[in-house]
Amino acid sequence: MKHISIEGSSKTVSQLIMGGDHFSESKYDLVSSLLDTFLANGGNTVDTAHQYGEDGASEKAIGRWMKERGNREQVVILTKGAHHDETGRRVNPQAITHDITESLKRLQTDYLDMWALHRDDPNVPVEVVIDVLNEHMNAGRIRAIGASNWSYERIQAANEYARSQGMKGFTFSSTNLSLAKMIVPRWEGCVAADEATCAWHAKTGLPLLSWSSLGGGFMAGRFSPEQRDNEEMVRTYYSEANWQRLERTKELAAQKGIPFVQLALAYVLHQPFPTCALVAAYSAQELHNNLAATDTTLSPEEVRWLEYGEQ
């Protein structure tokens, strides 16, 4: 499996990142089996968040697995925090420090390879965020910082401030990037990589770690134009352009003799800037299908054809 470099992290990051949002200790046998297989096949990066699962179930399961295997130095942990909750927006120094502290305890580690703001609050100055995150990096609790669901303009502003103060800025972004393009945001504050965002990543070289790389299952073929019981999917992804992208993906996959889901994931990994795909697996077969995407090669012309069709 290919890996990319994230500035600040002492370890390279596997292009396929294991999504751990559904992990819990109640499913620990499955979780540990999936993680063992992932690691054995060249994957090393696991995505989680302070808010995933009741009382941090996802982080606790990952922490237990690392402790039992004694493999902390072989694993890259990406966790997130400062997500909004019933009390309101939480992009502030107190919430950031609280979530980092709890994540360290749950994961049974004294450092986090990568930590990202899970949401943004445009009303909070970037200076406030950069200042507190640099305090945690200077203390050794975090090695690299990033932002999930932040616009590239906000990330750029944060990094310009960091540079002006001789501080460390964001070295990765985690937004949605998929062949299935959102018509409207899936939820308030959701950020998907549009053409301007991708152009900015190509210009700066900042890595993009894509969540929901299969468009909520759209590019996995879980939906059809006649199936309209999932209101969120209909509202977000049901467009003629997306159905055509799905058909082109199936066509090219058939020519290559591979599953079309594998090709849809490969699209994310063949951008003109560093990318990783965050993908959850609920079974050994799903994991093997995901892993196979890292061996799939696409030319720039094929990538463009999948997205836009004949030009």
- Name the band, by pLDDT with cuts 50, 70 and 90, for residue 160: very high
Can you give the pLDDT at residue 5? 97
CA of residue 267 relative to chain centroid, distance: 15
150-179 mean pLDDT: 97
With cut-offs at 50, 70 and 90, classify the pLDDT of residue 231.
very high
Of 116-120, 179-183, 189-193, 199-203, the range with the lowest mean pLDDT is 189-193
Find the mean pLDDT for residues 3-12: 96
Q: What pLDDT score was predicted for residue 188? A: 86
Instruction: State the pLDDT at residue 289.
Output: 87
Average pLDDT, the chain: 95
User: How confident is the model at residue 37, as a pLDDT?
Assistant: 97
Among 32-41, 191-200, 222-231, 278-287, the least confident range: 278-287
Average pLDDT score over residue span 141-170: 98
Q: Which helix (H) or strand (E) holds 17?
A: strand 16-19
The correct CATH number of 3-217+265-299 out of 3.40.50.10890, 3.30.70.520, 3.20.20.100, 3.40.50.2300 is 3.20.20.100
pLDDT digits (tens, 9 = 90+) for 243-272: 999 999 999 999 999 999 999 999 999 999
pLDDT the model gives residue 311: 54
Confidence bin at 199 (pLDDT 50/70/90): very high
- pLDDT band at residue 111 under the 50/70/90 scheme: very high
3: pLDDT strictly greater than 70: yes
Domain ranges, ordered by start, for the chain: 3-217+265-299
- Rounded to an integer, what distance in angstroms lies between the CA atom of residue 130 and that of residue 149? 16
Residue found under tokens 């299908």: 289
CB atoms within 10 A of CB 257: 6
Question: What is the percent of the chain where pLDDT is above 90?
Answer: 92
Q: Is 306 helix (H, G, I), strand (E, B) or coil?
A: helix
